[in-house]
Structure 1
Amino acid sequence: MNSTTLKVIALILMLLDHVGQFIPGAPLWLHWVGRISAPVFMFCMAWGFYYTHDRKKYLLRMYFFGLGMGLIDVICNNIVADPYAMISNNIFVTLFLVAVIVWLIEIRKTDKPKGNKYLALFAVYQILTTILCILAGQVLPLTGMMSFVGAITGNLIFNEGSFIFVFLGVLIYFNRTDKKRLILAYGLYCLGFLALEWAMNPQPTALLYTNYQWMMIGSLPLMLSYNGEKGRGMKYLFYVFYPLHIVVLFFIGNLFF
């Protein structure tokens, strides 16, 4: 499958997942299939970032969409009193951070002293912005302020999936070209999630009904099916559809709540 086909499949699965998130009474299986979506988007983003002719433009686009989505989250969460499900979705920031870390690592590969310097500055920056996010959440009386400041600052902790999913994106990027390495790296990552979720609640039913993030292993066959072709592209479909469908589902869900 080409990149466009993978994105469309991931988009459909994401839509089903968000129906389960925002619509009262939606069946749980929507979340099961939804676990497949984000890793596929990360895989497509990894190839897109590799092939792009202008990485700075790519990063700026991802950053500003993340900033816009963060603003949408704050507005929606604060204009509806006691919403059925708050909006905490902002994969743009997660993908932005994956791309930044990939770029820093690649700089280090070509210029180790320069790369080490940039990585050290990035680490210090993350400590400072984490403190800023926490302070913002305590000082500013708005729901979701920590995540919004996290979007503004590009923080590793306060983003959708936190640093765990940022690490996943980096892992996918550096193993995307070798299917055997991808199977091993991604498989171990999912196995680690399974072990963590089992440790949290060592009941077989919990792995189906509460701790089911491990089901993202279902993304692997889709990644392995990639044929290296771009397809029709439709670059801005995801950028527009992502915030639009979340806002629509958020308000529909609160009508029935």
Structure 2
Amino acid sequence: MNSFQIKLIALILMTIDHIGEFLFPQCDLLGYIGRLSAPLFLYILCWSIDYTRNRVRFLARVYAASVIMDIIWILLSIGGIHTDTYNNVFSIFFIVIAVVMILENKTLSKISKICIILAWQAAAWILVFVVMQDIIANAEYETICLIMHSLGIVTYSEGGWFWLILGVIIYYCKNDNKKLIIGYTGVCVFRQVCVALAVFPRILYFLEFHIGGIISTIANAIFYFFYGAEYQMAPIVPHNVYLGDYQWMMIFSLPIMLLYNNRQGRKAKYLFYIYYIVHIVLLCMLSNIM
């Protein structure tokens, strides 16, 4: 199976997922099916990093798509078209490409690479929440997303740190199916166990109510940096492993990845970019009509 065929499958699955998300949010079945989409796009993205003739141009193209998607969300909001969802998968794709490019830099040491990535994120956070504090406080949600995505803040990109880590693991395991199976399955299992057992909220609960003081404050700051405000709303009770969070369905993307034959197939460089933006806009409009 070539990259175009896998991308086409991912495109269909994504459309099914978004139809459910925008038009039939009560239909979980569409969401179950759609969980297979993003990992497939991420897998092909990782191969594209190797196959592209110019990584900088590839990075710039994905970055531009992310900015355009955010601007379109702003225009939809100005036009009175609103929805409970906000999609911009380009935001995390841009960061995955950028991080891989840093990690692949042969002139830097391993420590330097990690420091650069963390310094990038820390500097972006300081710029947003210190320098631009007044702007952020009075801005609309869509404008905030544009600022966050433009700076490449992982926490506020679609999928966050989980998708970044998954993308890096896929990139370095993709050439060996055995490593890919172990790496991808391991990440999926780890995530689902953490969600099912409410691991991170439990850790914070313990530190806040049993330890307290500076340790609790530092822990909260670290969790906020890596996960955003959502971790504070996570329930302390365990989730239903199968129904409460069906992201575990992503494991079924793996067999499709293993069918990849390292061939490009039909060339359609801008198909995904255009289709993603257009179908989001159409579904958003339809959701306001229905």
Would the TM-score normalized by the shorter structure come out above 0.5? yes
Shift of residue 133, structure 1, vs aligned partner: 3.9
Q: Distance in 1 between matches of 2:128 and 2:158?
A: 14
Amino acid at match of 2:289: L
Report the equivalent of 1:122. 117
Q: Are 1:80 and 2:75 counterparts?
A: no
Report the equivalent of 1:224. 258
For residues 215 and 136 of structure 1, do their structure 2 counterparts lie closer, same or farther at Cα, with a shift above 3 Å needed?
A: farther
Q: How many residues align?
A: 249
Identity %: 33
Report the equivalent of 1:186. 184
Report the equivalent of 2:193. 195
For residues 62 and 194 of structure 1, do their structure 2 counterparts lie closer, same or farther at Cα, with a shift above 3 Å needed?
A: same
Report the equivalent of 1:19. 19
Q: SS in structure 1 opposite 2:197?
A: helix
For residues 224 and 137 of structure 1, do their structure 2 counterparts lie closer, same or farther at Cα, with a shift above 3 Å needed?
A: farther
Moved more, 219-228 or 147-156: 147-156
Q: SS in structure 2 opposite 1:124?
A: helix
Over aligned residue pairs, what C-alpha RMSD do you find?
1.9
- What do residues 134-169 of structure 1 show as CA deviations (whole Å, max 9, x unaligned)? 437742331233321122111111100111111111
The 5-angstrom pairing of residues 100-139 of structure 1 reads 100-107=98-105, 110-113=106-109, 116-117=111-112, 119-134=114-129, 135=133, 138-139=136-137
Q: Distance in 1 between matches of 2:157 and 2:42?
A: 15
For residues 25 and 49 of structure 1, do their structure 2 counterparts lie closer, same or farther at Cα, with a shift above 3 Å needed?
A: closer
Could you tell me the TM-score, scaled by structure 1's length? 0.90
Unaligned runs of 5+ in 1: none
Q: Distance in 2 between matches of 1:202 and 1:162?
A: 21
Shift of residue 84, structure 1, vs aligned partner: 4.2
- What do residues 77-96 of structure 1 show as CA deviations (whole Å, max 9, x unaligned)? 45437x3423x211112111
Shift of residue 25, structure 1, vs aligned partner: 5.4
Report the equivalent of 1:215. 249
Q: Is this contact kept in 2: 1:63–1:96, CA < 8 A?
A: yes
Q: Is this contact kept in 2: 1:10–1:36, CA < 8 A?
A: yes
Report the equivalent of 2:204. none
Report the equivalent of 2:269. 235
- What do residues 49-77 of structure 1 show as CA deviations (whole Å, max 9, x unaligned)? 10111111111101111111111223324
Report the equivalent of 1:61. 61
Q: Is this contact kept in 2: 1:3–1:233, CA < 8 A?
A: no
